[in-house]
Amino acid sequence: MARTITMREAVNEALDQEMARDPSVVLMGEDIVGGAGSPGEDDAWGGVLGVTKGLYAKYGRERLLDTPLSESAYIGAAIGAATCGLRPVAELMFIDFMGVCFDQIYNQAAKFRYMFGGKAETPVTIRAMVGAGFRAAAQHSQMLTPLFTHIPGLKVVCPSTPYDTKGLLAAAIRDNDPVIFCEHKAMYDMSGDVPEGTYTIPLGEAEVVREGNDCTIVAYGLMVHRALEAAQALSTESISCEVIDLRTLSPLDLDTVLESVESTGRLVCVDEATPRCNIAADVSAQVTQQAFSALQAGIQMVTAPHTPVPFSPVLEDAYIPSAAKVASAVRRTMGKE
Amino acid sequence: MADNPFPLDRDRLLAAYRTMRTIREFEDRLHVDFSRGDIPGFVHLYAGEEAAATGIMMHLRPTDRIASTHRGHGHCIAKGVDPRRMMKEIYGRKGGSCEGKGGSMHIAELDVGMMGANGILGAGAPLACGAALAAKMRGDGDVAISFVGDGASNQGTFLESLNLAAVWDLPAIFVVENNAYAESTSRSYAVAVESYVDRASGFGLPGVSVDGTDFFAVYEAAGEIIDRARRGGGPALLECEMVRFHGHFEGDAQTYRAPGEQEELRKTRNCLTRFRSAVTEAGVLTDAELDAIDAEALALIDEAVVGALAAPEPTADDLLTDVYVSY
């Protein structure tokens, strides 16, 4: 039965249900229980934003492993354990911290299967918060998805709704390849209908979240909502937009995008990541290569600027792609701006 | 036959010698074949260090895991990887340990507990912590061993792993193979502490330092540490002081070493001759028995090279397979 819960609760529920159905699922991360070794140990925090709260009481210290502040060691341990029969879900609090443990992800987890001739399976999920909007400045706000889609051997997910979050996280945990699961921190309080029971959404399937005829807008994560806002605003100008939520960035469901562009003839790619070699640029290049003849106008990209994320609220608001910028890009493809 | 003063029976002593001799033959053969240009890529040889891998691995079960290094051939052979599959891999052929996709620096045989050689220094230590965590959760007494050189012992991954293993009380063992050189840089230049035992104690771990060219010293120290870890006694560090007979990589002119250093080491710190002297002088094994093993090891490596040269190259189709389990 569906009821309305937040994305934070959807993450928690997916973790809970996957731990219940599979005893090899263990959680690791900094403060995922919170207060380990302190007087108020039991579920003191449940993660810095409370996402894992309540799980310790159900599964205990054995399966909820608070870690030292030591990302290289515990992300690597999650990866090593994944090759030895466990199915770890490691929380890397902010994706910005990936820098200190990146080797374990892109040289180890991502490469085992190929480098070892197809023998290895590394069923690890690494959850991390992504995105700007928290006034958290340059080192806690990045959208680093393109770093991971660049690496063969990794899968990358970035959902935009509580429903997708629960289903995609369950699929990621059950998947036998390493998955980077990106949760937009500005969306934890977003509510939506979510069934109580377990379900999965296959990795690598985009979703058409609004149908339209004039222009396709491709987005993921928080940007899906900006795209939908723009599409709504443009409808009053008699411009009909089709909005595609990529949901999974690797594998990338290009077919859904191509099918839409064949019908609309126009494409706007929206990405909260900085512009060079990002998801928007990737989709643009592939559509240009495979559907050039369908395009009636140059592809437009709406992205963050090529700068670090600023602290000042005024500057950060200007940094994040807005619905107005998306709408403006669509108008450009229509020759109306 | 004389009384056996060693902690291994005759069969186990013969097995130990066979492992060490097979490693030496494998590596010295690669040294020759590489110099002829027969072998692609980077190759780092373990010759001179055989007593460490063998003395440790003789305590392990197939289900125990090891995370190896770029200088991993010796670890592979001692852990039970087939040298014929290794040789094919090093030649980049089908039927190699990794179907020719990994090469010397990435040989892995998961079904005998060899988690992989590693081209990234220190990267195996966190992976071994994960293997040790899985073993601890299974509760079957398995252990995981991470190898690093004296060079990689300075990596953050290694130091963080010492701490993680200590605070999680993991059945993990960290072996520092101190061969006195980090690539070309002297150990004394790059490591400030006198002994790795001091480093271990800084993280709350027991540590032992042994002469890594003395098989029996390694065997005894490793046995205690591994047994303790199996019984839930937690992690430890083992330093093996050893020598590297070849360069950092094949093709290394080794201008940083003293003139005659390697020849001298082959004479004075050769773990194979040391083992042979010990067991023959005690009257437990005979030269004839050991000579026979020498001949068998030579024949095995010959067979491995012939097999590698005869093995097919990967095809263009192989380029795109096995990136993911599913995609």
pLDDT in tens, A130-189: 999 999 999 999 999 999 999 999 999 999 999 999 999 999 999 999 999 999 999 999
* A40 pLDDT above the threshold of 90: no
Give the ipTM of the model, two decimals please. Answer: 0.94
**pLDDT at A42 (0 to 100):** 67
Percentage of the residues of chain A whose pLDDT score is greater than 70 = 99
Q: Which of A86, A113, A119 sits opposite B137 (nearest CB)?
A: A86
Both tokens assigned to A44:
């003191």
Both tokens assigned to B110:
């998961």
Residues of chain A contacting B134 with CB distance shorter than 8 Å: 80-81, 84-86
Residues of chain A contacting B327 with CB distance shorter than 8 Å: 155, 177, 204, 251
Q: What are phi and psi of B266, to 5 degrees?
A: -60, -30
| Among candidate residues A4, A3, A25, A24, the one with its CA nearest the CA of residue A14 | A25
What does the angle CA A104 – CA A110 – CA A115 come to, to the nearest 5 degrees? Answer: 105
| Among candidate residues A166, A34, A163, the one with its CA nearest the CA of residue A93 | A34
Q: Which of B125, B134, B326 sits opposite A84 (nearest CB)?
A: B134
SS3 A26: strand
**pLDDT at A45 (0 to 100):** 85
Percentage of the residues of chain B whose pLDDT score is greater than 90 = 93
| Among candidate residues A242, A149, A241, the one with its CA nearest the CA of residue A203 | A149
Taking CB atoms and an 8 Å limit, are A73 and B163 in contact across chains?
yes
Burial class of residue B326, CB neighbours in 10 A (0-12, 13-18, 19+):
exposed
Taking CB atoms and an 8 Å limit, are B130 and A152 in contact across chains?
no
CATH among 3.20.20.70, 3.90.660.10, 3.40.50.970, 3.40.50.920 for A207-333: 3.40.50.920
Q: Which of A68, A75, A155 sits opposite B167 (nearest CB)?
A: A68
Domains of chain B: 10-181+190-250+261-308 (3.40.50.970)
* A50 pLDDT above the threshold of 80: yes
Residues of chain A contacting B136 with CB distance shorter than 8 Å: none
Mean pLDDT of A250-273: 98
B145, closest residue in chain A (CA to CA): A80
A251, closest residue in chain B (CA to CA): B327
* B239 pLDDT above the threshold of 70: yes
Interface residue of B127, B159, B167, B203 to substitute, partner A, most A CBs within 10 Å: B127
**pLDDT at A337 (0 to 100):** 84
Q: Give the distance from residue A80's alpha carbon to the nearest chain B alpha carbon, in angstroms.
A: 4
Q: Which residues of A touch B (CB under 8 A)?
A: 26, 62, 65, 67-68, 70, 72-86, 88, 103-104, 107-108, 112-121, 152-153, 155, 175-177, 204, 251
Mean pLDDT of B212-216: 98
Confidence of residue B1 (pLDDT cuts 50, 70, 90): low
**Fold match between domain A2-195 and domain A207-333:** yes
**pLDDT at A35 (0 to 100):** 81
Report the C-alpha gap between B244 and B265 in whole angstroms. 8
Q: Where are the domains of chain A?
A: 2-195, 207-333
| Among candidate residues A28, A251, A15, the one with its CA nearest the CA of residue A156 | A251
Report the C-alpha gap between A242 and A194 in whole angstroms. 24
* A2 pLDDT above the threshold of 80: no
**pLDDT at A324 (0 to 100):** 98
Taking CB atoms and an 8 Å limit, are A107 and B98 in contact across chains?
no
How many of the other CB atoms lie within 10 Å of CB of A330?
29
Catalytic residues of A: 140
Mean pLDDT of A56-81: 95
Q: Give the distance from residue B156's alpha carbon to the nearest chain A alpha carbon, in angstroms.
A: 8
Q: Which of B67, B98, B324 sits opposite A116 (nearest CB)?
A: B98
Both tokens assigned to B146:
């991470």
**pLDDT at B187 (0 to 100):** 86
Q: Which of B99, B118, B125 sits opposite A118 (nearest CB)?
A: B99
Mean pLDDT of A215-228: 98
Q: Are B126 and B157 a contacting pair, CB within 8 Å? A: yes
**pLDDT at A41 (0 to 100):** 66
Share the mean pLDDT of chain B. 96
Partners of A270 in the beta sheet?
Answer: A302
Q: How far is CA B281 from the centre of its chain?
A: 27
A83, closest residue in chain B (CA to CA): B131
Return the amino acid letter for A216. Answer: T
**Residue-wise pLDDT tens digits, B259-290:** 999 999 999 999 999 999 999 999 999 999 99
Mean pLDDT of B169-181: 95
**pLDDT at B107 (0 to 100):** 97
A250, closest residue in chain B (CA to CA): B327
| Among candidate residues A164, A88, A76, A92, the one with its CA nearest the CA of residue A128 | A92
Q: What are phi and psi of B127, to 5 degrees?
A: -65, -40
Burial class of residue A114, CB neighbours in 10 A (0-12, 13-18, 19+):
buried
Q: Which fold does the domain A2-195 belong to in CATH?
A: Rossmann fold (3.40.50)
